[in-house]
Structure 1
Amino acid sequence: MKNMNQLMRQAKKMQEEIMKAQEALGERTVEGTAGGGAVKLVMNGHKELLSVEINPDVAGDVEMLQDLILAAFQDVNQKVTELTESEMGKYTKGMNIPGLF
């Protein structure tokens, strides 16, 4: 029974560390760009879009602007996914835990 209690304490400690890491991800920001910086998006580690910057020079061409926004979003989304996998991978070590991140 002593081993079970120790295992439960370790599991609780790991859960607390994971929760702290998830909170910290929400405070980190990542920037994605397209068109050589014509469109810039900033997203936090919880995949919440925080800001959009558009160079006025590309605002006249709506179709190109739409493509640039989509490309910038895909860029920032991929970077946040990589950040999340990197940070949370410390705890999961390759386990696929649905809903963790």
Structure 2
Amino acid sequence: MPKGFPGMGNMNNMLKQVQKMQQEIEKLQEEIKNRTVEASAGGGAVTAVVNGKKELVDIKIDESAAEDIEMLQDLILAAVNEALRKADEIVSNEMSKITAGFNIPGFPGIG
């Protein structure tokens, strides 16, 4: 690194931090895609299971919920949406753990 360029050392340090953060984010994304979250509605009449990629991987419906189709549709929507919200929350919480350790000026929420 040529002398006489103030701040270049800081830039190199920042680039190293960004690269490290990117590696940790990639690792986290790999781990999270295999996690699942579960949410239920109607007192357990409908249970939805979503993975970290926000894909619905399972849905369980109690037979008693099948008697009222409109109610069943509402319960399915509620359970799936809650499971998706939980998946987002996990991703957000895990991501904030990674970015909290980095002090990168000019990047809101990271520095």
TM-score w.r.t. length of structure 2: 0.76
User: Counterpart of 1:44?
Assistant: 51
- Could you tell me which amino acid in structure 2 is paired with residue 52 of structure 1? I
State the SS of the aligned residue for 1:21. helix
State the SS of the aligned residue for 1:36. coil
User: Counterpart of 1:88?
Assistant: 95
Aligned CA-pair RMSD: 1.9
User: Counterpart of 2:36?
Assistant: 29
Instruction: Name the CA distance, whole Å, in 2 between partners of 1:95 and 1:77.
Output: 23
Q: Which segments of 5 or more consecutive residues in structure 2 lack a partner in the other structure?
A: 2-7, 101-107
Larger Rg: 2
Identity of aligned residues (%): 49
Where do 1:1-101 residues align within 5 Å? 1=1, 3=9, 4-93=11-100, 95=109
Instruction: Name the CA distance, whole Å, in 2 between partners of 1:80 and 1:7.
Output: 30
Instruction: Name the CA distance, whole Å, in 2 between partners of 1:29 and 1:69.
Output: 17
- Name segments (4+ residues, structure 1) moved above 6 Å: none
State the SS of the aligned residue for 1:37. coil
Instruction: Name the CA distance, whole Å, in 2 between partners of 1:45 and 1:32.
Output: 14
Instruction: Name the CA distance, whole Å, in 1 between partners of 2:92 and 2:27.
Output: 15
Displacement, 1:23?
1.2
State the SS of the aligned residue for 1:95. coil
Instruction: Name the CA distance, whole Å, in 1 between partners of 2:57 and 2:89.
Output: 18
Instruction: Name the CA distance, whole Å, in 2 between partners of 1:81 and 1:50.
Output: 15
